Amino acid sequence: MVSHFMGRIVAGLCLLTAVACAPLAERSGSSMVGWPSPNFDERRPNFVILHFTSNKSVEPALHTLSSPASGVSSHYLIARDGTTYALVDERKRAWHAGVSYWGGSRDLNSASIGIELDNDGEEPYAEPQIVVLLALLGELKRKYAIPAANFLGHSDVAPRRKGDPGRYFPWQRLAGQGYGLWCEPPYSAQPQSTADDVLLAALGYDVADIDAAIGAFRLHFTPRSETRRLTTEDHALIHCLLEKRRN
Ligand SMILES: [Zn+2]
């Protein structure tokens, strides 16, 4: 219970710190006391989500990502020549992932840094762009201690809706430098038979639409495979990826 004297201090704190104490207290029907603590820092992103713009040049993407009417943005946009545009402060929530899911998280925008790459989805990525991307990923990984497994594509977190950064994205090269997971055959693990949805869900995929989840997995890890269902080799690959994530 707050005494009359304390109540005045609390009211003063509310005024000084612009904490909306009274409306909160009224709404909840209980006492809400503003009591600022110095023990905090900024919230930290724990994922990086990679995108392609699907544009032929950087100008239309810049326009879309900064136009109030579009309702979309990203933290960074990297042009084909490596020029990097910083669009949204890393501490703020950019609108790049939309409806999304990964490993139990349903709001990737709140937990991630979004990076758009100037690429139309039908072409290999430009070398200067990838060099700059790798340097940026290094900075982000160091600054926020982002686990290797949490560098993902938009298609991974929105398999029903999205196909970026697409089949030309150099995931193997990124994983070689610690951004994302990768395994090459032959795989050492000898998996017991496990259902496709159980394995993909263990990686993090939303398996509500299993065909979409398999498609997103293929796009990221086996872009040359045409098989619609997961094969025994795919199962061994997923076990290998899960093992890498554990280590
Ligand atoms: Zn995207």
Is the whole model's pTM more than 0.85, yes or no?
yes
10 alpha carbon to ligand 1 midpoint, in Å?
A: 46
Same domain, 67 and 142: yes
Contact between 196 and 238 (Cβ < 8 Å): no
Same domain, 80 and 135: yes
Same domain, 114 and 201: no
Contact between 243 and 189 (Cβ < 8 Å): yes
Same domain, 80 and 4: no
Per-residue pLDDT of the chain (247 residues; tens, 9 = 90+): 333 434 344 443 444 444 444 455 555 678 999 999 999 988 899 999 999 999 999 999 999 999 999 999 999 999 999 999 999 999 999 999 999 999 999 999 999 999 999 999 999 999 999 999 999 999 999 999 999 999 999 999 999 999 999 999 999 999 999 999 999 999 886 667 789 999 999 999 999 999 999 999 999 999 999 888 999 999 999 999 999 999 8
Same domain, 105 and 215: no
Provide the residues around ligand 1 (an ion) whose CB is within 5 A.
Answer: 51, 154, 164
Cα–Cα distance, 149 to 175 (Å, whole number): 9
- According to DSSP, the residues that pair with 116 across neighbouring strands are 51, 77
User: 74 to each of 163, 212, 247, how far by Cα in Å?
Assistant: 17, 24, 31
Same domain, 51 and 161: yes
207 alpha carbon to ligand 1 midpoint, in Å?
A: 19
Give the residue numbers marked as catalytic.
Answer: 116
Cα–Cα distance, 161 to 119 (Å, whole number): 18
114 alpha carbon to ligand 1 midpoint, in Å?
A: 9
Same domain, 114 and 152: yes
Number of domains in the chain: 3
Residue 56 lies in a domain: yes
DSSP H/E element including 116 = strand 112-117
| Two structure tokens written together for 204 | 């993090």
227 alpha carbon to ligand 1 midpoint, in Å?
A: 25
Residue 188 lies in a domain: no
Which pLDDT score, from 0 to 100, does residue 16 have?
Answer: 41
Number of CB atoms found within 10 A of residue 129's CB: 19
Which pLDDT score, from 0 to 100, does residue 30 have?
Answer: 81
Residue 180 lies in a domain: no
Contact between 151 and 179 (Cβ < 8 Å): yes
Same domain, 17 and 105: no
- According to DSSP, the residues that pair with 50 across neighbouring strands are 115, 153
160 alpha carbon to ligand 1 midpoint, in Å?
A: 12
Helix (H, G, I), strand (E, B) or coil at 9: helix
- The CATH number given to whatever domain includes residue 123 is 3.40.80.10
74 alpha carbon to ligand 1 midpoint, in Å?
A: 9
Residue 78 lies in a domain: yes
Which pLDDT score, from 0 to 100, does residue 43 have?
Answer: 87
Same domain, 138 and 218: no
- According to DSSP, the residues that pair with 52 across neighbouring strands are 117
Nearest to 157 by CA among 99, 215, 211: 99
Same domain, 2 and 70: no
Which pLDDT score, from 0 to 100, does residue 129 have?
Answer: 98
Same domain, 119 and 64: yes
4 alpha carbon to ligand 1 midpoint, in Å?
A: 54
Range of 24's domain? Answer: 1-40
Give CA 242 to chain center in angstroms. 18
Residues written for the chain: 247
